[in-house]
């Protein structure tokens, strides 16, 4: 079954919209929404710094993932398109891992 490119890009749009408030520092320290690391909730300045950086990195990664989807749907072999949901899941998980790894490097010692 072939899905239109808008189905996949819609997924990335929703994730970008979820990361946008983090990037713009609109989300106060909480336990449900945002990139949470030990001690970040106790220091609001650190919380906003981590989440702004995480939001920017996550949005950048999602834009790259969206571009990969467009390329695969436009130029990719038809057989590969059957695996696109799995490719999307892997790209999103890889993006989370890369963002988290980068944020850990920016935590104070």
DSSP codes of every residue in 10-51: HHHHHHHHHHHHHHTT---S-SSSS---TTTTT-HHHHHHHH
**Residue 96 backbone phi and psi in degrees, to 5:** -60, -45
pLDDT per residue as tens digits for the range 40-69: 888 899 999 999 999 999 999 999 999 998
pTM of this prediction exceeds 0.85: yes
How many helices and strands, by DSSP H and E, does the chain display? 4, 0
pLDDT per residue as tens digits for the range 55-104: 999 999 999 999 998 898 888 888 888 898 899 999 999 999 999 999 99
């Amino acid at each position: 079954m072939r899905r239109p490119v808008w189905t996949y890009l819609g997924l990335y749009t929703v994730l970008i919209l979820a990361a946008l408030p983090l990037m713009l520092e609109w989300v106060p320290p909480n336990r449900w929404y945002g990139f949470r690391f030990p001690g970040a909730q106790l220091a609001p300045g650190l919380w906003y710094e981590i989440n702004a950086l995480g939001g920017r990195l996550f949005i950048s990664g999602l834009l790259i993932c969206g571009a990969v989807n467009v390329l695969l749907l436009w130029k990719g072999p038809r057989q590969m398109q059957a695996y696109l949901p799995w490719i999307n899941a892997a790209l999103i998980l890889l993006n989370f891992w890369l963002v988290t790894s980068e944020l850990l490097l920016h935590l104070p010692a």
